[in-house]
Structure formats: C-alpha cells, structure tokens
Amino acid sequence: MATDMDTAPQADGIFGPGGTMAEANHPYSDDDDVLNEVEVNGNWTPQEKALHEARLKAKAKRRLRKSSSRNSTSESFSESGEVVGGDPHSPKGKVNTNDRKSRTGKGRGLPKKGGAGGKGVWGAAGMVYEDEEPDIHDPNYDESSQGDTVYETVVPEIDEKELEKMVNPIVQEYFEHGDTKEVQMLLKELNLGQHKYEFSSLAVSLSLEGKASHRELTSRLLSDLSGKMLSQSEMGRAFDKMLKELPDLILDTPDAPQMLGQFIARAIADHVLPMSFLDCYKGKVDCEHARVALDRAAVLLSMKREMVRLDNVWGVGGGLRPVKHLIKEMNLLLKEYLISGDVSEAEHCLRDLEVPHFHHELVYEAVVMVLESKGDTATHMMMKLLQSFWKTGLITVDQMNRGFQRVYDELPEISLDVPHAHSIMETFVDLCYQESVITKQLRDACPSRGRKRFVSEGDGGMIKN
C-alpha cells in the first residue's frame, strides 16, 4: 500500500513539484483528507483512483477560474502587489463598490449629466424651466388639452346657385328700409368670392321689375358700394352681363333696354363706371336691345354733361312731390274707381304713389265724396274700397282715424254746401262700423246735429230713435 501511494500521479495545479498534498496551500484540503482516508482503507482499484483524481483536478480548475474572475473585477494588483484604483482614504484600502464610477475604467468618475439625467428626475439644482410651446408634430400632442385655443369661423364660398337665394331677400328688405349700411354689413357676412360682381346685376334685375323708387334706391346702393365692396371693373363686368341678358329681361320687362341705359348713365355720372365704358362697345354690339340701351345712356350723358349727378333720372319720389299734386292724384284715383269699380286697380295706383304717410288724405276725400254724392251707390262702393284697404293693411289705423277725424272737424263747413251732411255721415259711419272698417271709439266720436228728442218727460232720460 505504501508503494502505491508513493508512485500515484500528481494532479496539476494541486501539488507543487516535489510537494505533497498536505503541504499544498489551497482551499481543497477536505477532498484530500477523504482521498487519503479511502486510500488507507485500500478499497479503490487503480482505475477508480485515477478517475477520482481526474474529477478533483477538473473541479479545482473550475473553482480557480471563478475566484480569479471575481477578484479581477473588484481589484487589480500591480507588480508590487498593491491594489490599483483603491480609495486611499477607505479603511484597509478597500474599494467602494457603491461609488457611481464607470465600470469600464473611463471618465472622471462624476455622476451622469451632473445628476440631472435619468428617468423620473427633476433636473440639476437651480435649473429653471421655461414655458415651451406645444409642438403639433409631437406624437403626444393633444389639441383638446391645450389651454389657449383660438377658433376661427370659416364661411364657405357661395356658389352661383345659392347666390340668388341669399341676395334676393337682402335686396327686397333694402327696398323697404333704404339703409345702404345694413346691406354692406350683410354682404360682409357672406363669402361671395369670385361671384361678387353678380350682386350688382341681381339688384338691377330686381329693380327693373319694381317701381321707380326701387330703381332710385338701387342706383344709390351701387354708388355707396363702389370703392368699398365693389370696384369699377367688377361693376363694369356686372353691367356687361346685364347687356347680354337683355333678350331674357325683355320677356318680363318690355322697357328693360331704356331702363338699363338710364342705369348706365346714372352709374357713369356717379363714377361707379369709368367714363370710357361706352367707348368699349362702339362698333362691337350685335344685339339690337343692347344697342338701344347704350344709345339711351349716351343721349342722357350728352344732355346732362354739365351735371355732376343724374339725380332725377328716375323722377321725383313720392315723398318729394307737392301736396297739391298728390291730392289731385288721389281725387283722380277715386273718380276712376267710382266709374270702373276695380278695387285692385285702385290699390295698385295707391301703392305707386308711395306716400303711406299721406293715406289719410285718401280717406278724407273718399268720405267727402260720399257726403256730396246722390244715392247709396257711392256710399257702398267707398265702404267696400276702404274695407279692402283696411284688410290688406294698406291703410293703417292711425291713417283711417285721422281721415275720419278731419271730416268730423270740418262737418259744420261741409253742411253749408250739403244740408243733410250730418245724417249721411251718421249712416256711413254706422255702415263702416258694421263692416269692421272703423273702431267703436271712432263711431261714438261722430258729431250729431240738433237737439236730442226724448220719448216723454218721465221716461228716465231715454233717447227716442
């Protein structure tokens, strides 16, 4: 047994040259004791002994590699055996493993970004953050969560089909109130776009179908819009379109060429159109109606060359006419009605006068004609006429009351020429009240002639019918 132990092969890295197991200084002495104890017992065969030694040898190599790699990361030894990179102030020269130094041995050993980097940090001490404008291209950008959001109203451009539907009510209302500033405000709210010039042509077309006062208002509107909403080139484009549409306009308005010529003359006088507008059409117009319109404009401009504006091209308005002329027109209207009996024609003539503030004169003249007439025909016809005017709203309550009150005040003078004026007046007033033409207060205000006769002395004040 002693001979076998002396001749056993030695493990590499365990026994030094000429050394024994017990003399080796390494941490694997427990396995050697077990091996010696087994060898003493003499139970292993040579093959088992060699296999066991090979296992111990491999196990020792693995432990040696593991311990050497751990020590190399924490400490490095110089040739003199001193630790390199250790803290000289640390006890026993130990390395502070919690220090935030680069593990690769690079850098100055300072914190990353001065302590201001990393996730979930507030930044370096003393740093002041400024307000940053949100970036629309940021993936986290949320429009609804932004503070100061400005909303701008975008009005879509009106197409040619919707233009007429939007403009017609504006022009019709303008014919009622005559306020050009109101029209300008309404046009600014609409996005006419490239069809802006068509507003002028639509306004002129509507005025051709209306009255002279409407055409006068249209000329004033074009004058006020020129330079503010519409330029001279756009006005010229609108009138050029009107000249091309004259064959269609004549179907509804036979006098359209003459009226359009007056519009052109008035526009040139008001500097709405350039003075060279007529010169552009010389020898270039094939339409007969367009030539009539242009000739009419040229004649008016040659006659009124010294005038700054053709203010009277559409005649005098209703409110500017003399009172005597209006009274004469109303008397003629009533006389024609008594002959023809056409209520609609009388209503049309009264509207053409355009004097709603003077309608009380018509009521006064109608009642006087009833008092001066003979028979009941005029009484019933005038009552029917006033009833029609009352129901259509052409004559208001104020104008009706004012007309009757004027007759009440002048009844004593009328009685000098018409002796039975009081009795005729009472009959006519009762008839008008029964047909709901006048109010009860106006009927009770009718004066009566003479002393009221009572039934008897003791009747208690009852009036005899």
> What single-letter amino acid sits at 388?
S
pLDDT tens digits, one per residue of 184-205: 898 888 887 788 888 889 999 9
Q: Name the pLDDT band for 115 (thresholds 50, 70, 90).
A: low
State phi, psi for 230 to the nearest 5 degrees: -130, 140
Decide if pLDDT at 463 tops 60: no
Q: Report the amino acid identity of residue 370.
A: V
- Are 84 and 76 in contact, with CB atoms under 8 Å apart? yes
Provide mean pLDDT across the span 304-325.
63
Residues in the chain: 465
Higher-pLDDT residue of 126, 374: 374
Mean pLDDT of 237-259: 90
pTM as predicted: 0.46
Closest CA to 361 of 391, 333, 392: 333
Least confident range of 192-196, 249-253, 292-296:
192-196
State the helix-helix crossing angle for 377-392 and 343-353, rounded to 10 degrees: 60
Please, which pLDDT band fits residue 300 given cuts at 50, 70 and 90? confident
pLDDT band of residue 306 (cuts 50, 70, 90) is very low
CATH match of 160-303 with 1.10.10.10: no
DSSP SS3 for 439: coil
Location of structure tokens 């432990």: 63
| Overall CATH class of domain 319-444 | mainly alpha
Average pLDDT (305-312) is: 54
Residues of the chain with CATH 1.25.40.180: 160-303, 319-444
User: CA triplet 417, 418, 422: central angle to 5 degrees?
Assistant: 135
Helix crossing, 198-208 with 232-244: angle to 10°? 50
C-alpha to C-alpha distance for 149 and 436, rounded to whole angstroms: 62
Q: Rounded to an integer, what distance in angstroms lies between the CA atom of residue 70 and that of residue 66?
A: 6
User: CA 148, CA 111: separation in Å to the nearest integer?
Assistant: 40
pLDDT in tens, 59-113: 888 888 777 665 555 544 444 444 444 455 555 445 555 655 556 666 666 666 7
Percent of the chain with pLDDT over 70: 71
